[in-house]
Amino acid sequence: MSNLFKIAVFISGTGSNLKSIIEKQPQYPYQVSLVVSNNENAKGLAIAKSHNIPTYVFKWDRNDSYLSKVHNQIKQADCQLIVLAGFMKILPKGFIDSFQNQIINIHPSLLPKYPGLHTHQRVLDKGDKFHGTTVHYVNTELDAGKIIAQSKIKIKKDDNKDTLAARLLFREHSLFPYTIYLIAQNRVKWRENELYFDQKILTQPIEMNE
């Protein structure tokens, strides 16, 4: 069995972040061991299959009856981190509690600004000068867990929500694999409820602006 740091990636749709995470595997010491989706038509499932990565599709329901099955799949695949990459459901508290500090998400805004949906349009409506993307740990509040890393872009005069989304997605494709790499290397880690980066308590997001 390989010693690589194993991750499960959760998706709901296109899966372009999943693709970038998979494609960075040769250069980063992690392994996508499982892809989970609440949507059997998610395009990202085909990306996983084309790389021979096991997939698991579950049906979302209000009683959370899928939870123990998803939980078992992750344990069986021996995953140490759950990566939400365009996963558009809010995970229930029981699930989050059972993987404490082991779930990360990417969100298309400079959190704590603009949690929730339609971030690109909201940034434009406010007339902000900058936009960005954030990788953060997941807790039981929406988009409010500890921030790990961010990538920032300057908003141009002629930007609209689609141009912003495209430029930001391009940044996500570097930021997310890099952040997973830092966790896999133990360079980002939790100790006694504090998050450390390279042995120092993380007080500001790690920035990756290229």
CB of 208 to ligand GAR, least distance (A): 15
H or E element: which one contains 17?
helix 16-23
CB of 181 to ligand GAR, least distance (A): 17
Catalytic residues: 107
Provide the token pair at 138: 């997941």
With respect to ligand GAR, which residue has the nearer C-beta, 174 or 185?
174
Q: Shortest Cβ contact with ligand GAR: which residue?
A: 86
Q: What is the DSSP letter of 156?
A: P
Token pair recorded at residue 163: 């141009």
Which residues here bind ligand GAR, judged by CB under 6 A? 11, 13-17, 85-86, 106-108, 169, 172
Minimum distance from residue 169 beta carbon to ligand GAR (Å): 5
Beta-strand runs (E) in 69-128: 81-84, 103-107
Nearer to ligand GAR, 89 or 187 (CB): 89
Q: What are phi and psi of 167, to 5 degrees?
A: -65, -35
Residue 207 beta carbon to ligand GAR: minimum distance, rounded to whole angstroms: 17
Q: How many residues does the chain have?
A: 210
Query: Between 86 and 205, whose beta carbon lies closer to ligand GAR?
Result: 86
d(CA 191, CA 97): 17
Task: Quote helix, strand, coil % in the chain, to nearest 5.
Answer: 30, 25, 45
C-beta of 22 vs 192, nearer to ligand GAR: 22
